[in-house]
Structure 1
Amino acid sequence: MDLGRIATAMVTPFQENGDIDFEAAGKLIEHLLSNGTDSIVVCGTTGESPTLSMDEKLQLIRFTVEKVNKRIPVIAGTGTYNTKETIEMTKKAENLGVDGVMLVAPYYNKPNQRGLYAHFEAVAKETALPIILYNVPGRTGTNIEAATTIALSKIPNIQVVKEASGNLDQMAEILAKTDEDFFVYSGDDALTLPLLAIGGKGVISVASHVVGNEMQAMIRAFKEGRLDEAAKMHQALLPIFKQLFKCPNPVPVKYALGKVGFSVARVRLPLVEMTEEEKRQFDEVWEHVKQSI
C-alpha cells in the first residue's frame, strides 16, 4: 500500500451543537488535497476517535470515501482495545470502500507482546484490506516491540507501521529486518526527516494540515540530495511541530487551521480549547515560522 510521503491524520470538524460538521469536513478534504497530502487517515486520534460513536465513525468514513472519490488513498482508523469490536469496525469500513485500515495497539488493557501479535493477526485474518499498525506507547501504555512488528510484517496484508514511539533505534531495527515492501512511517512530525535518513518512507502527519506543502518541499529536497536545504527546512518547521503538541492533540492544530481559513477549533470533552495565553504563544511561533519558510 502506497500512502505517498505524507498521509494526513485528518481532524473532525464539529458544529456548535457538537455534531460532525460535514460541510466543513468536505472543504477541509479539498484543502488537504491541494496542500501536500498524499493520503488521508480518517477517524484516527487526531480525528478525536475516542469521542466518536461507531455510527459517527461510519458516517465520516463513508463521507470521506465519497468526497475523495479515489483521488488519493483513504485509510480508516478502526482499532480499539477490543479485538472483536475492531474486527467488526474493520469489516464495516471495508464495505464502505476504504483503501486500508489503521489499527492502534490495544490501549488500557495493556496486552503483552504475544497478546499484541494475536490481536493484529486475528484482525488481519478477517479482512483483505492492507493494514497499518499504529504504535503510540504514550497513548496506549504499551510499546509494540521491534521483534513483534517484524513478526507481524510477515502477514501479507500487514504492510505498514506508524511509529510514534519516538525511538529511532527501534525504527531502524524494524527497517533492517523487514522486507522492502514493508514501510515505516513516522507518527511524529518532528521525526520525519530523521526517519527518512535511516530509510523510512514518510510521515502520518498532523502538521500537514497547515504546512503540508512545506513538508513536501523538505522531503523533496532530501530525496534529491539537497541535504543542507532539507535540514534547514526541518529546523525552520520544528517550532511549529512542537507547538502543535504543546496542548493535547488535536486542540492546537484545530486552532492553527484558523490561520488558513478554517473555523474548526471546537473539540469534544474531555478536550478543551486553548486558553488565550496558549493562543498568544502559538501566534508568536506561527508568525516567526511563516516569515522564515
Structure 2
Amino acid sequence: MNWKGVFPAVTTKFHADGILDMDLFFKNLDFQLESGVHGIILGGTLGESSVLSQEEKITLTGETVKYINGRVPVILNIAEGATQDALFWAKKAEELGASGLMILPPMRYAADAREVVTYFKTVANSTKLPMMIYNNPVDYKTLVTIDMFGELAACENIQAIKESTRDISNVTRMINRFGDRFQILCGVDTLAMEELLMGAVGWVAGLVCAFPKETVAVYNLVQEGKIEEAREIYRWFLPLLELDIHPKLVQYIKLAEQHCGIGSEHVRAPRLTLIGEERERIEKIITEGLAKRPKL
C-alpha cells in the first residue's frame, strides 16, 4: 500500500429525494482521477457515513471499487461504537475489494488508552488490509498518544496515521520516535502544506472534493521543492480550506462542489442545506475563490 499523495475524503452524492446519486458520484470521481489524486476514502465524516444504511455503504463501496478498477487505492473508513461492528466492516471491506482501512477510536464511548489500543489491535489482527489510524481528538475527543502508537507498532498492517491533532509539531514528534515506521498524512486542510513541509507524506483532503487540481498541485509542488509556487496557490486556497474545519463542513464543501459543477448540495437529514446569511457568507467565499482561481 502506497500511502503517499492526496487522498480525497469524498462526499456521498444524493438526489433531492435522498436516494444515492451514483451518476453524480462517478462524475466527481472522474474529476478527482483526472486531476491526479492518489487514492479515494469512503465513509468518512464528509461521506455522511453516520446516516447511510448498511446496504448503502456496501453498495457505495462495491460500486466504487468496480468503477476505480485498480487505478488508485480505495480506502473504507470505519467509525463504529462496537468492536463487533468494526470487525464486520473490516471483513466486508476485504470481500468488496477495498485496498485498505481508515479507522477511528470507538465512537460514542470515551474509551481509555488500554481500550483504544485493544480495539485497534483487534481489528488489525482480523484483516490483511493495511490500516490508517485517524487521530482527531478535537472532533472525536480521543487522543491517540505517541505511547499508544508505540504499542500499535506491533501490528504490521497498521501503517499510517491521519494526523488531525491540530498540532504541527506532532509530525516531528512521531518521526523522532518512530522514524518511517508510520506514514503520516495530514488530515486538516488548513495545516496541509505546513505538515507536508515537516515530513508528512500525504494529505487526506476535504476541499479537494471541489478543487482537486489545486490540491494536487500544492502537494506535487512541495514534493518537487517548489515551495514558493506551492505557497502562492496555498495562500489563495486558505479561505476555502477553512470551510473544512467547521461543524458544517459537509454542507459547505458540498455547496462548493455544486458551484464547481461536480456535485450537489443535497445532504441527508438531520443535516439541512444552507439558508439565509450563512448561505450568503459561504457562497461569497466560494465565488471569490473561483473568481481569483490561479492558473496552474
* TM-score > 0.5, shorter chain as reference: yes
By how many angstroms is 1:246 displaced? 4.1
Are 1:70 and 2:70 counterparts?
yes
Look up the SS of the partner of 2:241 in the other structure. Answer: helix
Aligned AA (1:122)? T
Following TM superposition, the consecutive aligned residue runs of length 4 or more in structure 1 with deviations greater than 3 angstroms are 244-247
How high is the TM-score relative to the length of structure 1? 0.94
**Aligned residues of 2:243 and 2:249 also touching (Cα < 8 A):** no
Q: Percent identity?
A: 26
- 1:39, 1:74 within 8 Å by CA — same for their partners in 2? yes
Separation (CA, whole Å) in 1 of partners of 2:202 and 2:191: 10
Q: Which runs of 5+ in 1 are unaligned?
A: none
Rounded to whole Å, the distance in 1 between the matches of 2:263 and 2:129 is 34
Matches of 2:72 and 2:31, distance apart in 1: 13
Contact 2:12/2:20, CA 8 A, preserved across alignment: yes
Letter matched to residue 12 of structure 1: T
CA contact (8 A) 2:257 2:263 kept: yes
Relative to 1, partners in 2 of residues 1:226 and 1:262: Cα closer, same or farther, differing over 3 Å?
closer
Q: State yes or no: 1:34 paired with 2:31.
A: no
Measure the CA separation in 1 of the matches of 2:145 and 2:246: 27
TM-aligned CA deviation for residue 144 of structure 1: 1.0
Residue aligning to 1:199: 199
Question: 1:254 offset after TM fit, Å?
Answer: 0.7
Q: In 2, distance between residues paired with 1:104 and 1:269?
A: 23
Q: Is the 8 A contact 2:207 2:244 kept in 1?
A: yes
For the pair 1:240 / 2:240, whether they are aligned, the reply is: yes
1:287 Cα deviation from its structure 2 partner: 3.2
1:34-74 deviations in Å (ceiling 9; x for gaps): 12321000111110011112121111100100010111100
**Aligned residue type for 2:80:** T
CA distance in 1, matches of 2:16, 2:287: 28
- 1:139 has 2:150 as partner: no
1:164 pairs with 2:164: yes
Taking structure 2 as the reference length, what is the TM-score of the superposition? 0.93
1:149 aligned residue: 149
Partners of 1:162 and 1:282 in 2: CA distance: 27
Rounded to whole Å, the distance in 2 between the matches of 1:11 and 1:106 is: 22
Query: Where does residue 89 of structure 2 map in the other structure?
Result: 89
Secondary structure (helix, strand or coil) at the match of 1:161 reads strand
What do the CA deviations read for 1:56-95 (whole angstroms, capped 9, x no partner)?
1111100100010111100011231211110111101111
Q: Which residue of 1 is the match for residue 16 of structure 2?
A: 16
What are the ranges of 5 or more consecutive residues in structure 2 without an aligned counterpart?
none
Q: What's the CA shift string for 1:197-236, capped at 9, x where partnerless?
A: 1111121011111222112222222222222222222211
Matches within 5 A, 1:141-290: 141-246=141-246, 248-290=248-290
CA contact (8 A) 1:131 1:157 kept: yes
**1:132-165 CA-partner distances (Å, limit 9, x unpaired):** 1111223322111122123313310000111112
Aligned residue for 2:118?
A: 118
8 Å CA contact 1:108, 1:141 repeated in 2: no
For the structure 1 residues 31 and 276, does the alpha-carbon distance in structure 2 shift closer, same or farther, using more than 3 Å as the test?
A: farther
Check 1:36–1:283 CA distance in 2 against 1; reply closer, same or farther (3 A cut): farther
Q: Which amino acid aligns with 1:135?
A: N
Indicate the SS of the match to 1:47.
coil
| Equivalenced residues, count | 293
